[in-house]
Amino acid sequence: MSSIESKPTSASKPNGDAEPRDIALDRQRRILLEVAARSIATGLECGRPLELDPVDYPEPLRAIRATFVTLERDGALRGCIGVLDAFRPLVEDVARNAFAAAFQDPRFARLQPEECPRLTIKISVLTPPEPLEFASQSDLLDRIRPGIDGLILTEQGRRGTFLPSVWEQLPETASFLEHLKRKAGLPFGYWSDTLRVSRYTTKSFGGSFSDIDARIQARTPT
């Protein structure tokens, strides 16, 4: 396990030698997972997130995007931190959120080195939120797409969100919405005409910390 500062190979190529889109996307996902693992390793060794310069990364990873980073240990949640409003480059957002998920999620103690071999890193890249128009709770329930939509609920200065992955635990639309209300600090059964809901989707991918770190170490000069 190391916080090595190796930089990714540039994705910029002459127009006649461009990578197929699926290969480029796979490479970008690998880079983001390695950034997340390196940021966690840096946190364990130095107590801070990985410092990086977005200009060193492929152009798609420099786009301003919002992400969540979820950590699981032996399949159970170990930390999840992210942002809903995009304000910094994608690669930097992943580095910061990976560190925060490992060391700043108030639901968990700080990650310890011995946990890393049992750790899985999952990254969700969010689309911009889309406000939903609805006239009633039943109307809202009809507009939600189970298994697809992540939701942001706001009411009276309170806000909560569920990523699309939460549908795996709460597959029923009504239950999904009621638990989201609770997460936002509202009681079950609450309804108000001032309640607002937006939806978004995510592109999610992940890998085990050990496998990601092994790829990093394989490129490290000895």
In a domain, 63, yes or no: yes
Helices (H), the chain: 21-46, 90-103, 137-143, 173-183, 209-218
In a domain, 9, yes or no: no
CATH number for position 119: 3.30.700.20
- Number of structural domains found in the chain: 2
| pLDDT grade for 76, boundaries at 50, 70 and 90 | very high
Domain coverage including residue 23: 15-126+203-218
Give the mean model confidence (pLDDT) for residues 199-220.
93
119 and 25 in a single domain? The answer is yes
Chain segment 52-64, per-residue pLDDT in tens: 999 999 999 999 9
In a domain, 3, yes or no: no
Residue 182 CA to residue 2 CA, distance in Å, equals: 39
> Does pLDDT of 84 surpass 80?
yes
112 and 167 in a single domain? The answer is no
Residue 25 CA to residue 137 CA, distance in Å, equals: 39
pLDDT at residue 7 in the model: 53
Give the mean model confidence (pLDDT) for residues 22-40.
94
pLDDT averaged over every residue in the chain: 91
CATH number for position 178: 3.30.1490.150
Give the mean model confidence (pLDDT) for residues 12-38.
79
102 and 42 in a single domain? The answer is yes
Chain segment 117-127, per-residue pLDDT in tens: 999 999 999 99
Percent residues over pLDDT 90 in the chain: 86
122 and 142 in a single domain? The answer is no
Using CA atoms, how far residue 149 sits from 92, 129, 203, in Å, is: 25, 10, 11
Percent residues over pLDDT 70 in the chain: 91
120 and 172 in a single domain? The answer is no
pLDDT at residue 219 in the model: 81
What letter does residue 113 receive in the DSSP assignment? G
In a domain, 90, yes or no: yes
In a domain, 162, yes or no: yes
